[in-house]
Amino acid sequence: MFENFTDAFANVWSIDTVVVLFLGVAIGTVVGAIPGMTSVLGVALALPFTFTMSPVMGILLLLGIYKGGMYGGSIAAIIARAPGTPAASCTILDGAPMAQKGEARRALEMALYASCIADFISNLALIVFAGWLASLALAFGPAEYFTLIIFSLTVAAGVAGDDLLRGLASAALGLMVATIGLDLIYGTERMVFGITELMEGLNFVPVLIGLFAIPEILKQFTKRQSMAIEINPLAGKSVNFAEFRRCLKTIFRGSLIGVVLGAIPGIGGITAAFLSYSEAKRTSPNPEVFGTGEIEGVAAAESGNNGTAGATLIPLLALGIPGDVVTAVILGAFMIHGLRPGPIMFQENLDVILALFMAIMLSSLFLFVVGKICIRLFSRIAEIPAGILSPAILVLCVFGVYSVNNSTLDIFVMVAMGFAGYLMALMRLPPAPFLIAFVLGPPFEDAFRQSMLLSHGSPSAFFGSAVNWVFWILTILSLTMVARQRFSSAPMKRQSSVPETKQE
């Protein structure tokens, strides 16, 4: 054991390794900050370079990019209202309104603090609880996924805005778009219209960019005169200590949500961010300020998604199972070096694991340093007039969306979703429920049908384990809370929905 420690120590504390990790975090942050370009692209491009590095160094480069990308997404979300990475779409809800109020600096700083703390907690959880959390992942069969997703879907109600009906309509649209493609169980074509590219369904990134970034750009073109609002991140106030303390509870809660959801393969940062956001809103003394530029909303979203960044390595290292695309690329890097993540690796390559654990703690610190520098650099962007900035963002969006899968269809999807998003904005349909339904719809259906296959059609599958019951109880609690909040503010809501029915 001691030998392993000294080996690991020697592995990490070489100047090359530290530089590579720092470089990774910096590359990831920049890639994440560009709308449409995600950490997936970053790690895929960096993968061949790791072939010739030492295993620890190569994996740290990829991990750095992953972590940087997870944070970097918030920069574009706040400054340009475009989710830099899918997981940052929740950050837009309060980050973008803050920027419009001239409080971009506070939003960016809070996003950075929340990200670093959540990343640190997530790393700590990886090191201390990897074994225990891995067994949690093993307790998740299709039926458990199903109940987890049911619970997560109730979150959509939490971000529906002040009008539940509009929220549900938006979620229904999201579910509809999510059905495009081949169904998992029998491979039946749904709304494919003979286009081979559509068989896989619509990609995440073009839909997200279309939904959030494009309507904003369209809006700026339609009312250019009114867009003279100054967004200067370095003007404006910094986060003060009182604010930070107020958000600390939210950050810790978000980190924990991120850790648990990160440890379960395939759930990911988007769900964690929204769940954390919805919890913060529910427990807040003034939930009505969420969505209008509430700093706690930014803290909740960013702690939720960064909370997954260390925990996704739990199923990867302990079980050899990648939870998302980035960890799948990292798995590839392990294998190229003859390392097989999984239980065996903890016995045979403990020095590598320990080296990774040591270095990973360093990554939270690097994230802080890189973030501080980036906030300064990216603040320059905000000085560019909207008339020049908007087209530039549009170009970046097109480029980023294309780069995901080198598909021109994705660009069309983005544009189409952009107009759909613009129409939704005109009809005051909130985009967040659409997004949650789009993300969770397919796994919801898959998990349901897999469970039914396994139980030979008996619904008892959904009540078979303790995990199921936990999520059923959480679902009921969550729905009761929503109902209670709705009834207490019902008169106001009815008034607002009257003119809408006339339009339709």
Partner 1 sequence: MGIVVGSAAAEYPEKPVTLVAAFGPGGTSDVTTRVLAINAAPHLGQPVVVVNKAGAGGVVGANFVHSAAPDGYTILLGRVATHAVAPAVKNVPYKFDDFTFLGLIEKNPFVCVTSTDKPYKSLADVIAAAKASPGKLSFGSPGVGTLPHLMGVMILDEAGVSDAGKAAVHVPFKGEGKAVLAILAGKIDYMCANLAPTIGHIQAGRLRPLMTTMPERLSAIPDVPTSRELGYPKLEVAVGWSAIVGPPKMEEGATKKWAEVLQKLKDDKSWISMTKKLGSIPVVLSPEETKEFVTESYKTMDALVTKLDLRIK
Q: Which residues bind partner 1 (CB under 8 A)?
A: 40-41, 43-44, 47-48, 51, 137-142, 182, 184-188, 196-197, 199-200, 265-266, 315, 319-323, 325-329, 331-332, 335-338, 340-345, 405-407, 443, 446, 450, 453-454, 456
Burial (Cβ within 10 Å: 0-12, 13-18, ≥19) of residue 219: middle
- Rounded to whole angstroms, the Cα distance separating 228 from 374 reads 24
Nearest distance from C-beta of residue 36 to partner 1, angstroms = 15
- For tokens 């309507």, what's the residue? 215
CB 104 within 8 A of CB 98: yes
Nearest distance from C-beta of residue 307 to partner 1, angstroms = 21
> Which is nearer to partner 1, 182 or 481 (by Cβ)?
182
Query: What are the DSSP calls for 42-110, one per residue?
Result: HHHHHHHHHTTS-HHHHHHHHHHHHHHHHHHHHHHHHHHSS-SSGGGHHHHHHHHHHHHTT-HHHHHHH
Cα separation values, 474 from 95, 139, 148, Å? 28, 18, 9
What residues pair up with 189 in beta bridges, in sequence order? 182
> Which is nearer to partner 1, 326 or 417 (by Cβ)?
326
> Which is nearer to partner 1, 12 or 56 (by Cβ)?
56
Nearest distance from C-beta of residue 262 to partner 1, angstroms = 15
Q: Which two tokens stand for residue 365?
A: 């610190």
Burial (Cβ within 10 Å: 0-12, 13-18, ≥19) of residue 387: exposed
Nearest distance from C-beta of residue 19 to partner 1, angstroms = 22
> Which is nearer to partner 1, 369 or 453 (by Cβ)?
453
> Which is nearer to partner 1, 287 or 343 (by Cβ)?
343
> Which is nearer to partner 1, 94 or 446 (by Cβ)?
446
> Which is nearer to partner 1, 196 or 495 (by Cβ)?
196
Burial (Cβ within 10 Å: 0-12, 13-18, ≥19) of residue 470: middle
CB 34 within 8 A of CB 396: yes
Nearest distance from C-beta of residue 324 to partner 1, angstroms = 9
Q: Which two tokens stand for residue 335?
A: 């294998």
Nearest distance from C-beta of residue 181 to partner 1, angstroms = 9
Q: What share of the chain is helix, strand, coil (3-state, %, to 5)?
A: 80, 0, 20
> Which is nearer to partner 1, 79 or 417 (by Cβ)?
417
> Which is nearer to partner 1, 348 or 383 (by Cβ)?
348
CB 88 within 8 A of CB 76: yes
CB 441 within 8 A of CB 154: no
Nearest distance from C-beta of residue 447 to partner 1, angstroms = 10
Nearest distance from C-beta of residue 144 to partner 1, angstroms = 9
Nearest distance from C-beta of residue 47 to partner 1, angstroms = 6
Helix ranges, 380-465 (H): 386-405, 408-426, 431-454
Q: H-helix or E-strand containing 285?
A: none
Nearest distance from C-beta of residue 383 to partner 1, angstroms = 35
Nearest distance from C-beta of residue 455 to partner 1, angstroms = 10
Q: Which two tokens stand for residue 13?
A: 């504390």
Query: What are the DSSP calls for 135-166, one per residue?
Result: HHHHT--HHHHHHHHHHHHHHHHHTSTT-HHH
> Which is nearer to partner 1, 102 or 320 (by Cβ)?
320
> Which is nearer to partner 1, 368 or 444 (by Cβ)?
444
